[in-house]
Amino acid sequence: SVPFGVDLGNDNTVIACARNRGIDIIVNEVSNRSTPSLVGFGMKNRFIGESAKNQQTSNLKNTVDNLKRILGLNYADPDFETEKKFFSANLVENDAAQISAKVRFLAEQQEFTSTQLTAMYLNKIKDITVKETKGNITDICLSVPVWYTEKQRRAAADACKIAGLNPVRIVNEVTAAAVGYGVFKQNDLPTDEAKKVAFIDIGHSSYQVSIAAVKKGELKILGSAYDKHFGGRDFDLAIANHFAEEFKGKYKIDVRENAKAFYRVLVASEKVKKVLSANTQAPINIESVMNDVDVSSSITREELEEYIQPLLNRINVPIEIALKDAGLSAADIDSIEVIGGCTRVPSLKAKLSEIFGKPLSTTLNQDEAIARGNAFICAMHSPTLRVRPFKFEDFNPYSVSYFWDKEEEDDDHMEVFPRGGLFPSTKIITLFRKGDFEVEARYTNKEQCPPGVEPLIAKWLVKGVVPNEGEQYIATKLKLRNDPSGFYTIESAHTVQEVTVKELVEKEATEEGEEEAEPEYREVKKLVKKDELTLEMTSAALTEDQRNAFFEKENNLVIADKLVADTEDRKNALEEYIYELRGKLEDQYAKFASDAEKERLTGLLSKAEDWLYDDGYDSTKAKYIAKYEELASIGNLIKGRYLADQEEKKQAMRQKQEA
C-alpha cells in the first residue's frame, strides 16, 4: 500500500503520498491540489468533491458540507446548535442519537449518517489517489482537530473503514504539521536543547495552536488549545451579514429569507475576503440575487477588520492556554509557524505577531503541511518502507480515569491519563478479582472537555478470571493505553500467580585449580502469568455488523454511481459519433460511399439523433452501446475504404520519391 496521508479540511481536503523518496501532493481530476469537502445527492447519482461544489448553488438542500463538524457529534450536543446555521441540508437525529442528513436522492427521501457521509467523501479521495498513483491505497493516516473527542475519533476511523481504508493512525492536525516540520527541517534542528515552536493553524472553521519542543529526530507537543468556532467561515458569515443588512436598505430585499440568495452572498463574501488579503478594497456584484434584483457594493479592509473584531479580540486565548500548559511564556518561543488558509488575512497575522512580539515564520506550506506530515506518519507505519526515524509524542488534552467495582483495592477508580501527559503512553495496573469483571474509561473532568461530551468513553468486560484453588482473589494485570491515535483502551489483561522456582545461586568465581563447587540452588517466589484474559470492548465505534452493512451500502453506491457515469460516457460517445460521421460523410468519406449507402446511413443517423432526444434521452448503457455499434458497422466499412485509399496514395508517393 502506498503511504497515504489525508488532511480532511472543513472546506477543502489535501492528499499526500510518500513516493519517489519524497512526499508528493496528489492532484484531483481537474488538477487541483485540494478538493472541496462536500457531498451532493442528485436524481441519478451522488456528486462528491469538485462535482459537488459545481452543483451546490442549484442543489443546496441536498448538498452536505462542513462534514467534519458533524462527524461523531451527538444531535443533542450544544455545539450542534451553533453548527446548524452553516448547513443548507436538512439534518436530523438518527437511531444512534447522532446526526444524519435527510436528502432527496434517486427521487426519494434518504438518510445518511455523518459517518457515512464522511466515508463517501473519503472514498472519493481514495479514488482520486488510486487514479493518480495507479497504486494500491489501503493504509491511511488521517488527521483530525485536536478537539475531537474519543467518539469523534472513533467515527473518523469508522468512516475510513467504510471507505475500504485501514486507518493506521488518527493524528491531530497540528501535530502532523509539526512532525512534517521536524522531519523536513531535520538538519537545521538542535541536538541538545529543544527549539520551542508555536504551530498555529487557522482554517475554515477552527483555530488550533500547539506548542512543541523540537529536536533533531524527535518532537514533543507540550501544550495544545483551540477555539472551535474561529475560522474563515466565520469571517465569510460576518461579511455576508453586513451585506444582507446593506441590501435591505439599499434594494429592499432580505437575502436572509432566501437560502439560495444568502448562499450566493456568502460565496461572494468569501471571494471578497480573499481579495482583501492582497488589496485594501474589494467590489461585490451579484446578478439577480433574488426578485430579479442585481446587487453591487464594495468593502474595505478596515471594514472587514471591524466585522471580525469580536473574533480578533479572543485570538490570544488559545495561545495563552497552550503556553500555560507548556510552562512557557510567549518570549520563550523561538519560532511561530502559521498554517491554514485563514492566516492569509493581514490583520490576523499582525495580531498573532503582536502577541508573540516576533515576526511569524512561514517555513511550512500553509495549505499542504498537514497532509505531508500525515503521509510521512503513514510511511513510518509501513512495514515495507524505510523512513528516517522520528519520534513524536502528543499532548493529552483531557484527563481520563478508569473505574471498576472495588473489591480488595482501596479505590474504585484511578486517574490514569492526566491532562497534559504525553501519548502514546501505557500504564499497568493490578486489581484483585474473584471472577470476570467490568472496567470503564471516563473523562475525569467534564469541564476540560467541549460542552456536551458524555463522560463514558468505553467499557470492557474482562473475561477468564479464575482464582487458584483455595484462594478467593487473583491478581489481575491490565495494560491500559492511550494509544498512538489518542484512543483510551485496555490493550491486554492477564492474571498472575505466585510460583516457587529454584534459582541458581551465583558464587564467586573459583580460583584456577580449585575443585569445582557443587551448583547450589535456592527457592524463590515469583509472579508469573497464569491466564491471558479476553476483553470485550463496548466503545463509541460502530459494531462490526453495523460497519459491514455501511461498507456494503457504500460499495453499492459506488457501483451505481459508476454505472451512471459509464452510461453518460456511452451516451456522449454516441452523440459525438453521430455528428462526426455525418460531417465526414459529406467531406472526406463522400467518394467512398455509394448513394444508396449514403441515404441509408443518413437516415440511420437522423433516427439515432431523434432517439437520443426522445426515448434515448435517459436510456441504458447497453442500448447506447448497441446503437453506436449499429452505426459503426456501416461507418467503419466506409472509413475502411477511405483509409485504404489514403494508404495507397502514401505508397504511390513513396514510390515516386524513390524513383
Residues that bind ligand ATP (CB under 6 A): 9-12, 68, 203-206, 231-233, 270, 273-274, 277, 340-342, 344-345, 367
Beta bridge pairs of residue 90: 102
Report the residue number, 3 or 9, with the smaller CB distance to K ion: 9
Crossing angle (nearest 10°) for helices 544-586 and 595-613 = 140
Closer to ligand ATP by Cβ: residue 124 or 273: 273
* Minimal distance, residue 81 CB to ligand ATP, in Å: 19
Return d(Cα 83, Cα 77) in angstroms, integer. Answer: 10
Q: Which of residues 106 and 267 has its CB atom nearest to ligand ATP in the complex?
A: 267
User: Do 61 and 101 touch, CB atoms closer than 8 A?
Assistant: no
Minimum CB distance to ligand ATP, residue 424 (Å): 24
| Beta strands per DSSP E along 50-180 | 63-64, 90-93, 99-105, 108-113, 139-144, 166-172
Name which of 195 and 228 has its Cβ closer to ligand ATP.
228
Residue nearest to Mg ion (CB): 203
**How near is the Cβ of 199 to Mg ion at its closest, in Å?**
12
243 alpha carbon, distance to own chain's centre: 33
Give the contacts of 268 (CB within 8 A, at least 6 positions apart).
240, 243, 284, 285, 286
State the minimum distance, in angstroms, from the CB of residue 285 to K ion: 28
Of 9, 180, 397, 421, the one binding K ion by CB under 5 A: 9
The reply to whether 373 sits near K ion by the rule CB under 5 A is: no
CB 222 within 8 A of CB 212: yes
Please report how close the Cβ of residue 341 comes to Mg ion at its closest, in angstroms.
8
SS3 category, 192: coil
- Distance CA(165)–CA(161), nearest Å, equals 5
Q: Is 94 in the site for K ion (CB under 5 A)?
A: no
Q: Is 50 exposed, middle or buried (0-12, 13-18, 19+ CB in 10 A)?
A: middle
Question: Is 203 an interacting residue with respect to Mg ion (CB under 5 A)?
Answer: yes
Considering the complex, state which of residue 198 and residue 557 has its C-beta at the smaller distance from ligand ATP.
198
Q: Which CB, 182 or 232, lies closer to Mg ion?
A: 232
**Cell numbers placing 167:** 486507518
**DSSP code, position 206:** -
In the bound state, the residue with its beta carbon closest to ligand ATP is 232
Does position 9 interact with Mg ion (CB under 5 A)? The reply is: yes
The yes or no reply on residue 335 touching K ion (CB under 5 A) is no
CB of 158 to Mg ion, least distance (A): 21
Task: Note whether 196 and 328 are within 8 A (CB).
Answer: yes
Q: State how far the Cα of 140 lies from the Cα of 392, in Å rounded to an integer.
A: 18
Residue 296 CB, nearest distance to Mg ion (Å)? 32
Q: For K ion, which is the closer residue by CB, 14 or 326?
A: 14
Residue 101 and residue 117 in contact, taking contact as beta carbons nearer than 8 Å: yes
Residue 450's identity, in one-letter code, is: P
Among 5, 6, 12, 199, the residue binding K ion under the rule CB under 5 A is 12
With beta carbons less than 8 A apart as the criterion, state whether 474 and 495 touch: yes
**Identity of the residue, 371 or 542, whose beta carbon is nearer to K ion in the bound complex:** 371
Q: Which does 206 bind (CB under 5 to 8 A by kind): K ion, ligand ATP, Mg ion, none?
A: ligand ATP
Q: Residue 126 binds which entry of ligand ATP, Mg ion, K ion, none, with Cβ cut-offs from 5 to 8 Å by kind?
A: none
- Residue 117 burial (CB count, 10 A): 25
Provide the b/e sequence for 515-524 (b: ≥16 CB within 10 Å): eeeeeeeeee
Question: Which of 505, 432, 511 shows the shortest CA–CA distance to 474?
Answer: 432
Binding mask 257-276 for Mg ion (x = CB under 5 A): --------------------
**Comparison of 230 and 404: residue with beta carbon closer to K ion:** 230
Q: Which residues bind Mg ion (CB under 5 A)?
A: 9, 203
Which residues here bind K ion, judged by CB under 5 A?
9, 12
